[in-house]
Amino acid sequence: MELPSRLMETAVDHMASLPGIGRKTALRLVLNMLRRSEEQVEAFAESLVALRQGIRDCQVCHNLTEQDQCSICEDRARDDRLICVVEDLRDLLAIEGTGQFRGLYHVLGGVISPMDGTGPNDLNIESLVERAASAPAQDGKQLEIIFALPTTMEGETTSFYLFRKLASCDVQVTAIARGVAVGDDLQHADEATLVQSIRQRLPYTQ
């Protein structure tokens, strides 16, 4: 597909560099840009530059923020004896979306994946261990670290690695429950999920 101008080539190349966007879709997006006013395109471009310049990692939990600490870490109403470990911002947003978790987070920035070349040193693991080490039990209540990582091989590997790194700290380590999703038929659940849901059975309550 030879485009009629170099400017279009460059713009399509950039659009196609986004994940999940092929060259055909990129061309559609670029043609859409051409139907906008110059001011609209400038606002679009400016929003990306401002984002990249203004957003940084929260110094505590690696959530994204415009300040040194994110709004969750700064919220004194939240329970600082609970730290939920997630892979990335989207998982954090999913849990926040439920409105039911009132503890803090720790965003790893990925999971250990030798296939993708992601090792433990590429993740925010040291800072999690530091948080755990510097939080002694208060009134006999330990800090609880909840693993909420993906149920994939990489996620499980990462959980196991974290568990060993945290072994020397005075913390309680838990993991979110695996089981049959709410609204799902048992016959459509995979075997591994069914096994987990039976192993993790709980006293019945209404």
The answer to whether residues 29 and 10 touch, using CB atoms and an 8 Å cutoff, is no
CB of 60 to its own copies, least distance (A): 13
Residue 198 touching its own copies (CB under 8 A): no
Judged by CB under 8 A, which of 22, 43, 136, 138 binds its own copies? 43
The answer to whether residues 107 and 73 touch, using CB atoms and an 8 Å cutoff, is no
Region of 8-16, 75-83, 161-169, 183-191 interacting with its own copies (CB under 8 A): 8-16
CA distance 139 to 33: 59
CA distance 102 to 132: 18
Region of 39-47, 77-85, 118-126, 131-139 interacting with its own copies (CB under 8 A): 39-47
Helices (H) and strands (E) in the chain, counts: 8, 6
Q: Which of residues 70-109 bind its own copies (CB under 8 A)?
A: 70-72, 88-90, 93, 96-97
Residues that bind its own copies (rule: CB under 8 A) add up to a total of: 56
CA distance 163 to 152: 16
Residue number with CB closer to its own copies (49 or 167): 49
Tokens of 49: 């530059």
Q: Regarding beta strands 64-65 and 56-57, do their DSSP bridges make them parallel or antiparallel, or are they unpaired?
A: antiparallel
Residue 65 touching its own copies (CB under 8 A): yes
CB of 177 to its own copies, least distance (A): 23
CA distance 45 to 54: 14
Residues of this chain that bind its own copies (CB under 8 A) = 1-8, 10-11, 13-14, 17-21, 25, 27-34, 36, 38, 41-55, 63-66, 70-72, 88-90, 93, 96-97
